[in-house]
Amino acid sequence: MRVMGVDPGLTRCGISLVDGGLGRSVTALDVDVVRTPPDMPLAQRLLRISDAAEHWMDTHGPDVIAIERVFSQNNVRTAMGTAQAGGVIALAAARRGIEVCFHTPSEVKAAVTGSGSADKAQVTGMITRILGLQQAPKPADAADALALAICHCWRAPMIARMAEAERRAAEQQRQFKARLATARRDGAGRTANSGRKETR
Amino acid sequence: MRVMGVDPGLTRCGISLVDGGLGRSVTALDVDVVRTPPDMPLAQRLLRISDAAEHWMDTHGPDVIAIERVFSQNNVRTAMGTAQAGGVIALAAARRGIEVCFHTPSEVKAAVTGSGSADKAQVTGMITRILGLQQAPKPADAADALALAICHCWRAPMIARMAEAERRAAEQQRQFKARLATARRDGAGRTANSGRKETR
């Protein structure tokens, strides 16, 4: 499974490409950070980020795009820009029929380090070891993009199992409701019939 | 000036088209609300919104897209979705070389009602009067999209004047810095020369 990991951002947007093999084997294929100047109009910044992400998608043909899910950050303005950068990349994936999956920062940290509250240094250290890199990936956005992709490789089987379980549960509920409706209709029919008998 | 007003949102995204004439004359050409179901994957929702907005752009050829600038709302999740919906529309405009302008909710309210803290009913009432409509536009997202476009028509000359003033100020500052640097270099040259004379 080829996963494109995205650590979204307007000023720095980390993009990585990781191949997930059997079990927990993962191979980093590429990683880069797309930058846009803060004094550029927002629409132009989004266009530059989208163009870069689309170039990666068309060149490498990932099976899935794993994007960090943005929550409120201390700086609301930054959080909005981050959400928008992730949004335009999700849109580009949807246009190509590529699956998009969002992971929260704590899901990523937990998957990679075993702790949902690990700091940046711990995440970078684990990424360097997991991928067997000579040097720690820099800047932090590059490491985060790799962590996102690895997190998806490792969580994907579990997510698929949960989706399958939810699908089955929904199917069972549908069948149960259908049987209940049939039973009620039959019951109502009998009551109506018995009612009619009494009034005769 | 033909303005496409956008009240961004994932569940309901208001889009309007307004022609701004001389002075404060404005004519509503069209207004609609794009809806996407909350249980649809985010990337698909963004795709549907983007497709609708792009269809409007390609059909009506607006000169500028006026989008509501999103601030933190009570519900952070909603605010993120709103920011993303606005982001993909800004991207579509940038791809077509159409200018994008953001206005805050209070700028819109102030432009349309005269008060930055007007409520929804006041905004809808004023929009109905300004555009000379037989009925108040519904839902609120449609009225907001019209308010955005009218706000842009009325603020555009002022924004253009401010941009021109800023451009001139930046140019003056550049010239002043250049003169200062020349004066310093000449001064430093004289000091160096006088220093050389002294050591002779």
pLDDT digits (tens, 9 = 90+) for B164-176: 999 999 999 999 9
pLDDT, chain B, mean: 90
pLDDT recorded at residue A200: 46
Distance, in Å, from the CA atom of B159 to the CA atom of B163, rounded to the nearest integer, reads: 6
Specify if A188 maps to a domain. Answer: no
Structural domain containing residue B54: 2-156
Specify if A192 maps to a domain. Answer: no
Given pLDDT bands bounded at 50, 70 and 90, which one contains residue B77? confident
Query: 3-class SS at A27?
Result: strand
pLDDT recorded at residue A170: 92
| Amino acid of residue A175 | Q
For residue B68, say whether it is annotated as part of any ligand binding site. yes
B13-27, B125-139, B186-200: which has the minimum mean pLDDT?
B186-200
Specify if B190 maps to a domain. Answer: no
Closest C-alpha among B125, B143, B113 to residue B5? B143
Given pLDDT bands bounded at 50, 70 and 90, which one contains residue B200? very low
Rounded to an integer, the average pLDDT of A24-40 is 94
pLDDT digits (tens, 9 = 90+) for A40-61: 999 999 999 999 999 999 999 9
Edge to edge, the sheet with strand A99-103 lists: A26-35, A12-20, A2-7, A64-68, A99-103
Specify if A174 maps to a domain. Answer: no
pLDDT recorded at residue A191: 62
Q: Which residues of A touch B88 (CB under 8 A)?
A: 87-88, 91
Specify if A9 maps to a domain. Answer: yes
User: Can you state the angle between helices A140-199 and A105-113, rounded to 10 degrees?
Assistant: 110
Inter-CA distances, B126 with B1, B13, B112, B123, B137, Å: 21, 21, 7, 5, 11
Specify if A199 maps to a domain. Answer: no
Specify if A62 maps to a domain. Answer: yes
Task: Please answer yes or no on whether B76 and A80 come within 8 Å at the CB atom.
Answer: no
Higher pLDDT, A138 or B51: B51
User: Can you state the angle between helices B105-113 and B140-199, rounded to 10 degrees?
Assistant: 110
Rounded to an integer, the average pLDDT of A132-157 is 93
Q: Tell how far CA A132 is from the center of its chain.
A: 25
pLDDT digits (tens, 9 = 90+) for A64-119: 999 999 876 567 778 889 999 999 999 999 999 999 999 999 999 999 999 989 99
ipTM: 0.81
User: Across the interface, which of B46, B79, B95 has its CB nearest the CB of A87?
Assistant: B46
Question: Other CB atoms closer than 10 Å to residue B54's CB: what's the count?
Answer: 17
Q: Tell how far CA B162 is from the center of its chain.
A: 14
Specify if B182 maps to a domain. Answer: no
Backbone φ and ψ for A18, nearest 5 degrees, come out as -130, 135
What CATH number corresponds to the domain at position B142?
A: 3.30.420.10
pLDDT recorded at residue A71: 74
Given pLDDT bands bounded at 50, 70 and 90, which one contains residue A23? confident
Task: Please answer yes or no on whether B43 and A72 come within 8 Å at the CB atom.
Answer: no
Pairing of strands A99-103, A26-35: unpaired
Number of structural domains, chain B?
1
